[in-house]
Amino acid sequence: MTARSSQTDTALERARTLIESADEAPSLQQLADAVKLSPTYLQRAFRRRYGVSPAEYHRARRFDQLKAALREGAQVTAAVYDAGFGSGSRVYEHSDRLFGMTPASYRAGGAGADIRYTTTATPLGRLLVATTTRGICSVTLGENDTELESRLSAEFPLATRERVDEGREEWLDAVIAHIAGELGWRDATATTMPPLDVAATAFQWRVWEALTRIPAGTTKSYGELARELGLPGGARAIGQACGNNRLALIVPCHRVVREDGSLGGWRWGVDRKRDLLAREQRRMNERQRKAG
């Protein structure tokens, strides 16, 4: 690492710390003066490192604070202002993307949301797929239906949850068919994925979208993915975004490994990750043999 890059890294970390500790979003000029970089260079370098602009980073941090307060039972209005938002209208402008539901519904554990779900057997264990009226909100793997249903209940404790088996709805079938076809468990009967309804920041969406571009049967390290996204030194942030993924197999975070090639962890179990990668590798090899 050159002296200049080291100084830039230090300046960017200082800027990030200032943003996180600020009640009001500091202007780009204020941040630039504080860390002794030009505003243009700071904006460009910060986005390269963290995937978002300083202003977007501050907004995402405020939403994180708001979500934590709502989960702890704070009143919506109080939580909105305590998190630094000047009005509730700004929160609701972004709530669909950052919460997957309105703040009031999020605070109430999904109250008012109608969730339909089903489970099915896979070579990796039981799979649960859940949807709201707007899209897929959860795809999880587990040992049995009791475990999977408990997870769904914990994530959305006050939502209306209905199991759908006979005549499963189109979105549920589409996800199951997509996963089955992608992983070679059976021929896909649906080629178009339905929309998603998950809570995520802009940075998480960016990482998840990049994960979907990793071909089945291959892996990338957290560092490689960070560099591809223009985030040198951002491996830990990539790992955190992977850890927040609640869409097993749809967002293939299992294809990301440590720098030394070891598997690392996976929300749904490292043994499943190992099995899944091996299956994908075998399928890729079979396709190459047929093509050759």
pLDDT of residue 222: 94
Do the bridges between strand 125-131 and strand 136-142 make them parallel or antiparallel, or are there none, so unpaired?
antiparallel
Q: Could you tell me where the DSSP H helices lie in 191-269?
A: 202-211, 222-228, 235-243
Query: Quick check: is 242 catalytic?
Result: no
- Catalytic residue, chosen from 253, 256, 276, 277, is 253
Q: Convert the pLDDT of each residue in 213-247 to its tens digit.
A: 888 889 999 999 999 888 888 888 899 899 888 88
Helix, strand, coil % in the chain, rounded to nearest 5: 55, 10, 35
Do the bridges between strand 114-122 and strand 160-163 make them parallel or antiparallel, or are there none, so unpaired?
parallel
> Which helix or strand (DSSP H or E) is residue 217 part of?
none
Domains of the chain: 3-107 (1.10.10.60), 114-182 (3.30.160.70), 202-291 (1.10.10.10)
Q: Convert the pLDDT of each residue in 110-161 to its tens digit.
A: 566 788 899 988 888 999 999 887 778 889 999 999 999 999 998 888 888 9
Whether the per-residue pLDDT at 168 is higher than 90: the answer is no
